[in-house]
Amino acid sequence: MTVGIGRVSLRIQDLPLSCKEALTALVYGLMVEGSQIIHIDDIILPQQQVEFPQVDNIRLSAMVMAGDKKGISYMLSDIFRQIALSDSGAVNKIKTYVMEFINLFLESAAQAGYESISFEQMAEYYSCLINLNSLEDIYQWLKNVVESVLEALISRRTGRNRKTIIKAKNYININYSRDLNLDEVAESVFLSPNYFGWLFKKEMKMTFIEYLTKVRLNNAKRLLEKTQDSIQIISEKVGFNDPNYFSQVFLKYFAIRPTDYRKSKREIIVKE
């Protein structure tokens, strides 16, 4: 019998990590001969004895957060190139190193919004890894795992982002007539202003201000056509405090002044 032991967890929220460590230790024990009890610390070499490339966890987390499949693929290729060129070709050591990489990668994916991996799923990953016998097979297997997780993460995030932008647009369409800013809209969808501004531009292909201005001006056109309100009143109704500035922006967007636009629409109605 082989037993794997993780580190002691002082907080309930740390138990999943301890379970992963126990599973990692167990799998390592299964890769060596004989029944034994193995603690996670027994399989992690001191820093000065590490024979494989150190994973830049900050860089890995940033690439996972960005969904950078190309960047992570390059990282994996570089890691395995260094392993292949080293004298540390023992397959069991490589498998242990890969298990640690998977743990780091999945932790980063969870922080980026990917659903947490269950104990059973981790056991399935490690079971597949145990049966691999060559560096090329291990590399291809790890690459496939990473790509499948990233694709699921990107797909989930894309759907969530679209819903967020729809909510933001609805909020803008309801509140455009008053003094509205990016911070308020970002707060309404529970995002930081900087991230919301970046996400809005990415999804809408225009900045928040450009979209808000577009909504205001389209509503101004509607009021010019349907009401007898003065330019000053219309400018206030669509969120502009200065009617002169409103006229300048209207002219810039539509190449016609508000008064001339209203006149042209009335002439069309008369002719009809």
| 120-171 pLDDT tens trace | 777 788 888 888 888 889 999 999 999 988 888 888 888 888 999 999 999 9
Locus of tokens 């911070």: 183
Alpha-carbon distances of 186 from 166, 196, 207, 214, 257, rounded to whole Å: 12, 6, 13, 18, 33
Token output for 243? 């009617």
Beta bridge partners of 39: 5
Cα distance between residue 69 and residue 242, in whole Å: 48
> Among candidates 254, 262, 195, which has minimal Cα distance to 226?
262
From the DSSP assignment, how many helices (H) and strands (E) are in the chain?
A: 12, 2
Residue 155's H or E segment, with its range, is helix 135-175
pTM for the model stands at 0.54
The pLDDT assigned to 53 comes to 80
Q: How many degrees, rounded to 5, is the angle at CA 100 between CA 22 and CA 133?
A: 95
| 12-40 pLDDT tens trace | 666 666 666 666 665 555 444 455 676 66
Angle between helices 208-226 and 135-175 (to 10 degrees): 30
